[in-house]
Amino acid sequence: MIVRILIWSLYDSRTTIDKLRESLPELGEPSMWIWSEASEQFGAVAFGDELPEAVGWVGDMIGGRTRLDLVPEADLPEALQSLAPAERKALVETQTAKRKALDERMSGLVKQRDAHIAAERAKQPQARDSFDRVVEDTLRKQVLRPATN
């Protein structure tokens, strides 16, 4: 049996857990919706070979992939409500492109940081008895251990 756990952060979303709960379609048993109001996270536990269609719909809604022309004007941010539909679309596309560029830049910086840390670690002597090294070795062995059924 395949079990998928999908978790979304609502931190930067225009929706809330309460709004989502009001509009959630039912998932077939034993699949279920899950959430944590304290951490602003929402998700689904889906059982089976295919993800339920509702999971994709919620992911689109949270991830901002809903078509702009289908969003009621009252639900739009104030900055978009005053714009004509063509201007809204252009602004959203511009912001999306900026976000994508920033995400790509961040990915590059993270790779540079990881490479720098690895290079600095390689320069240091390997203290095999340090607590950090023991924990790292233990985790590495557990992650690399073949799965047993």
Residues 28-38 have pLDDT tens digits of 788 888 878 77
Query: Do 41 and 35 meet the contact criterion of CB atoms below 8 Å apart?
Result: yes
Q: Domain 1-66 falls in which CATH fold?
A: Alpha-Beta Plaits (3.30.70)
Question: Domain limits of the chain?
Answer: 1-66, 76-149
Phi, psi of 47 (to 5 degrees): -105, 140
The CA distances from residue 107 to 10, 64, 112, in Å, are 21, 21, 9
State if pTM tops 0.85: no
| Residue 139 binned pLDDT confidence (cut-offs 50, 70, 90) | confident
Q: Write out pLDDT tens, residues 45-78.
A: 888 777 776 676 666 666 555 567 767 787 777 7
